[in-house]
Amino acid sequence: MSHPTAPQAAKLVIGVFTNDQQLFDPVLERLTELFGDIDLMSPWIPFDYTSYYEREMGPGLMRRMTAFKTLIDQSSLSAIKLKTNAIERDLSKSENRNINIDPGYMLRERFVLATGKNFAHRIYIGDHIYADLTLIFSKGVFQSLPWTYPDYKAIDVQSFLYRVRNKFIQDITKTDF
């Protein structure tokens, strides 16, 4: 018989993409008000893996990833997604978003994103939000899955996620007794 245990705290990671980089600073300010100080941040990374978002947001999309110092409870991911959706709506023009904000979390063994879209591999976590197992860490590397978004398979994004994972391990090692 398994014995329920409390889940480990996770490292909050938020990816933002837009074609208007001037929107990033106000978004970052709101994110830090909500989630605390930034621990790590990626440079701007070209987001040219799909035309899906270009139809809504226009060409020239760029991504920037951030990881936060304060660890989160894994069960808070749906509430975090609702907060980031509200920021997206506040910055939208009519029905089109100007910025996309993707929260997720890092653990030693996996990277998970939040989404409002259901699919066979996504698990409902409450508040109309699903968890998307995006990457598995196995044998020293991130393993993509058949449904992993192309940008999360990219070297630039995974390079940042390796840094986040290493920092997460340092963070939890400091607090483990």
What is the C-alpha separation between 21 and 63, in angstroms, rounded?
9
- Hey, what CATH topology would domain 10-175 get? Alpha-Beta Plaits (3.30.70)
Sketch the domain layout of the chain as residue ranges: 10-175
Q: Does the CA dihedral 38-44-46-51 come out positive or negative?
A: positive
What is the C-alpha separation between 77 and 158, in angstroms, rounded?
21
In angstroms and rounded to an integer, the radius of gyration of the C-alpha atoms of the chain is 16
**pLDDT (tens digit, 9 = 90+) per residue, 8-60?**
999 999 999 999 999 999 999 999 999 999 999 999 999 876 678 888 888 99
Given a cut of 60, whether residue 177 has pLDDT beyond it is no
Tell me the two tokens of residue 83.
Answer: 């907060």
Burial of 177 (0-12, 13-18, 19+ CB in 10 A): exposed
Q: What is the pLDDT of residue 96?
A: 83
Are 13 and 67 in contact by the 8 Å Cβ rule? The answer is yes
Q: What is the pLDDT of residue 176?
A: 54
Tell me the two tokens of residue 98.
Answer: 């100007």
pTM given for the model:
0.94
